[in-house]
A and B are shown apart, each in its own frame.
Chain A
Amino acid sequence: MSESIQPMLEMRGIRKVFPGVIALDDVDFDVRPGEVHALLGENGAGKSTLIKIIAGVYRRDGGSMLVDGQDVDFRSPADALEQRIKVVYQELDLVDGLSVAENVFLGGYPKTARGFVDFSALKSRTRALLADLGLEIDPDLPVGELRVAEQQMVEIARALSRQAQLIVMDEPTSALSPAEVDTLFAVIARLKARGVAIVYVSHKLDEIYRIADRVTVFRDGKRVVTEEVANTTPRQLVAWMVGRDLQDLFPKSEAHIGPPLLVVEGLSGSGLRDVSFTVHAGEVVGIFGLMGAGINTLGRVIYGAARRDAGTVTLDGARVRPNAPRDAIAKGMGLLTESRKDDGLVLPLSVRANMTLAALGRFADLTWIRGGAETRAAAEYVDRLGIKTPSLRQPIRYLSGGNQQKTLMARWLLRRDSLKLLILAEPTRGIDVGSKAEIYRLIDAMAQRGMGILFMSTEMPEILGIADRILVMREGAISAEFTRAEASQERLVAAAATTEPEGEATLVAPTGASA
């Protein structure tokens, strides 16, 4: 029935090879005008590669690509724009210092008769574009002062200013509050109505059911299936993505709570306000809060990676010095930050070197690294954690997000002799379902061995799924505490919500001032 509609974009037999990896293998994909086509797949399945080929960032190594039935070959993002294709990435490419209007029309300003920029036309046209999307954003405001959600809208308006007929959105909701997600979906509905084709990349199944018409699932660089969303079930989607049935996403064993391990008292600094709590040996403590509530900052301050002004941190009876990650490590802490790329991965180095970075002393006599011992230990953890890599020497940048994250967890697990407490800040952010489940399983296993786990997340299901106890944070302070049995989505939301209107929590989590 809908076969007769000419796709806006059609890709046939697309192939892309990177050193050591076939990123895309004979992939077919198409998207029609006025359709939202969701792309689903684990990290490393090939979604981002496909997007980048559509965007003109990568060139395909094989296959053909048609826009409105015409053969095209993009050599650069400019070529894609020429065909009115625009990609809105997670990391938005806006110029912070320029105004909204200047950003929207960047690269094609309206001119006056004399050839100067026509600022009044610029402003009114921007306002009109935003109004079309049902938005009210001041065209004069510098983009840097907008919230992420608003910046995203500016990026979408920018696409419309170029008469985009295809907009690709790469995990657009990963940094949005629920209310902002609603706004985004309203905008998407308007775009659909205008006949714009939309490719929507997301890990979140509920979103796909809310807005997508069709869904294509990728696995290991191949297209598994393309199907009308209405004809699928979430369970099916997950099975297609992972390649097997995922029975239990949250494995949770009976907790054996031991004596107090981490005692935090009166912690202040970096936006925290008088935070006190305890983590026991063998316990998984979840910290929940909305974006900006300071959950990740809490982990950094405890670890010494962000400034502590007052309060004490005691681990297994020993005081941990403020602002000194080395001391925290020596006393038995490990930290996985929420920003893998910024302060976790050493991108140019190999999987092995990344994995052993914090435990290198274990494999060294004085300073001499015993290569064999290091390799054996790294190989053991590649095995144990199921890290997918062609070799230990593979630069970590080539691994998918999930495998990178597992490597970083191994970095701390390799310190098993001294590791007592692991702080995990949003360890499953941007990670596929399969890897998520494996990370939950790891967390459970570590707690079973008597380690304490402090687990920060902005996603309720996983907090509810794996934590023995949940602390809720709001504006840098702890606002509620629930046992596993007491906790529910409603209670968490109520405790986390600010007294101000939805989504106005502007407390910016300062990133660690170390280095």
Chain B
Amino acid sequence: MKKTNIALASKRTAVWRSLLLQYGGLLLALLLLMVAFSLKTDHFLSLTTLRTISNQIPYAVLLAVGMTCVMIVGGIDLSVGSVMFVAAALAGKLVLGGQPLWLACAVILLTGLVYGAVNALFITRLRVIPFIVTLAMLSILRGLAYTFTDAAVQNAHNIEAFRAIGIGFIAQLPVVGRVPWPVVITAVIFAVFAVILTRTTLGRYIYAVGGNPRAAALSGVRVYGVKTLAFVITAVLAALSAFILIARMNSGQNNAGFGFELQVIGAVLLGGASLAGGQGTLVGTLLAVLLLGTLNNGIILLGINSHWQVAVNGFAILIAVFLDARRRRALGQD
């Protein structure tokens, strides 16, 4: 009986300690970067910067939320950028064709849904590894969309409803100023998935399936179902982020989502997920996205050649993989 009490009593402090261990590094890096950038530039700590970041972060976060689910479940989705592109092209076409906005939105989300299900079908029923399936899909989708749009930029000028979502804001708050819709939508989705992953049976099964699919199956978990759901979630969120992207740009760019998959995977890995599955948290992912976003922004503010941004993401992946490998070696599970 004594032990039970100990187990319960030590919980609080243990939670804080493990949080610090888990996220301390990321948090520290983020703070250091912010301090460094604000010392180096005049504008970094301004509201404009905040707004710029808050404009750029939502797509990344939406994609990263999905990618975190997929990577916890032991998969990877290289095709999110292409899904975004297809969704953006489709939405552009529909809206330009005079269809109502809600219809475009519904079609886009449905596309994501179907697409995620197709991915999952190959992965679960045909047992092709996710890397290969989604790599193939990356090319197929982008190729299809190029064909379908003749690789043209589709401008949807002056469609009010679009603008309202893309650059509109929900509230005018003191100090912070405008709170844009994309930020609100993203925050809500982030919160929902954070709760799903940590507080629901589905979330627990996602971790279990990623950690050991055979053990999960023998414990009665619907392994295929959970995997399918993770890939569908990712694709739908990618489609949603495409919708927000074109709403802001007010156009269907033909390079929409290009290379996003690597940025997102880099961030998720940096946030503590493992290529082996079973690990990762949305808080870690968010911190990593913020870190990379801040870094990219700083690069621009410092006037450094912006192509460095691309390289920075590569470095992030390397660092993340290095940390993961080191952690695994420390645990003796090579």
Residues of A within 8 A of B (CB): 52, 57-58, 303, 305, 325-326, 329-330, 335, 337, 342-349, 353, 357-358, 360-361, 364, 367-369, 371, 375-376, 379-380, 382-383, 391-393, 397, 411, 512, 514-515
Contact between A391 and B211 (Cβ–Cβ < 8 Å)? no
Contact of B219 among A382, A411, A512 (CB under 8 A): A411
Most buried by B among A305, A329, A360: A360
Q: Are A383 and B211 neighbours in the complex by a CB distance under 8 Å?
A: no
Contact of A347 among B11, B204, B278 (CB under 8 A): B278
The smallest beta-carbon distance between B188 and chain A, in angstroms, is 18
Which of B151-159, B174-182, B220-228 contacts the other chain? B220-228
Q: Are A357 and B332 in contact (CB under 8 A)?
A: no
Whether B220 and A369, one on each chain, are in contact in the complex, defined by CB atoms closer than 8 angstroms, is: no
Q: Are A382 and B7 in contact (CB under 8 A)?
A: yes
Nearest B residue to A329 by beta-carbon distance? B220
A393 proximity list for chain B (CB < 8 A)? 11, 14-15, 18
B215-247 residues at the A interface, CB under 8 angstroms: 215-223
Q: Is the CB of B207 within 8 A of A353?
A: yes
Contacts of B219 in A (CB 8 A): 329, 357-358, 411
**For residue A364, which residues in chain B have a CB less than 8 angstroms away from its CB?**
200-201
Identify the closest chain A residue to B211 (Cβ). A346
> Which 9 pairs from chain A and chain B are nearest by CB?
A348-B278, A346-B211, A343-B214, A358-B219, A329-B220, A514-B217, A367-B200, A515-B213, A379-B4
A375 cross-chain contacts in B, Cβ below 8 A = 7-8, 11
- In the assembled complex, the CB of B12 is this many whole angstroms from the nearest CB of chain A, namely 11
| Choice from B7, B221, B276 contacting A379 with Cβ under 8 Å | B7
Shortest B328–chain A CB gap in Å is 10
Judging by beta carbons under 8 Å apart, are B216 and A369 in contact? no
Docked complex Cα distance between A344 and B333 (Å): 17
Q: Which of A345, A348, A357 contacts B221 (CB 8 A)?
A: A357
Q: Using Cβ atoms and an 8 Å threshold, which residues of chain A touch B214? A: 342-343, 512, 514-515
Q: List 8 A-B contacts (CB under 8 A).
A: A347-B333, A348-B210, A357-B204, A360-B201, A376-B4, A379-B4, A393-B15, A514-B218
Docked-complex contact B208 and A325, CB < 8 angstroms: no
Given A325-B217, A337-B218, A391-B11, A345–B212 Cβ distance below 8 Å? yes
The residue on A at minimum CB distance from B4 is A379
Chain A's nearest CB lies how many Å from the CB of B225? Answer: 11
Pick the residue among B208, B220, B333 that contacts A353 (CB under 8 A). B208
Measured between beta carbons, the chain A residues less than 8 angstroms from B223 are: 514-515
> What count of chain B residues pass the 8 Å CB interface test?
40
Check A346 against B218 for contact (C-beta < 8 Å).
no
A325 touches B200 (CB 8 A): no
**Pairwise interchain contact B331-A367, C-beta atoms closer than 8 A:** no
Q: Are B8 and A357 in contact (CB under 8 A)?
A: no
Task: State in angstroms the CA–CA spacing of A326 and B216 once bound together.
Answer: 11
Taking the complex as formed, is B3 at the interface, i.e. its CB lies under 8 A from any CB of chain A? yes
Please tell me if the beta carbons of A57 and B332 are within 8 angstroms of each other in the complex: yes
Q: Are A369 and B200 in contact (CB under 8 A)?
A: yes
CA A382 – CA B279 in complex, angstroms? 24
Query: Are B220 and A325 within 8 A (Cβ)?
Result: yes
Contact B14 A346 (CB under 8 A): no
A117 to nearest B CB, angstroms? 28
Please indicate the chain A residues that have their CB under 8 angstroms from the CB of B173 in the complex: none
Nearest CB in chain A to that of B18: its residue: A393
**Which residues of the other chain, A, contact B276 by a CB distance below 8 angstroms?**
348
Q: Does any Cβ of A come within 8 Å of B202's Cβ?
A: yes
Chain A nearest Cβ from B308, distance in angstroms: 34
Q: Does B199 contact A (CB under 8 A)?
A: yes
- Are A335 and B218 neighbours in the complex by a CB distance under 8 Å? yes
Question: Is residue B1 within 8 Å, beta carbon to beta carbon, of the partner chain?
Answer: yes
Q: Is the CB of A346 within 8 A of B207?
A: yes
Q: How far is the CB of A281 from chain B (nearest CB, A)?
A: 22
Let me know if A52 and B332 touch, CB within 8 A. yes
Across-interface contacts of B218 in A (CB, < 8 A)? 303, 305, 325, 335, 337, 343-344, 512, 514
Is the C-beta of B172 less than 8 angstroms from some C-beta in chain A?
no
CA A347 – CA B218 in complex, angstroms? 15
Beta-carbon contact of B202 and A367 below 8 Å: yes
Q: Please give the distance in Å from B332's CB to the nearest CB on chain A.
A: 7
- Pair B217/A515 contact, Cβ less than 8 Å: yes
B48 at the interface (CB under 8 A from A): no
Bound Cα distance A382, B223 (Å): 27
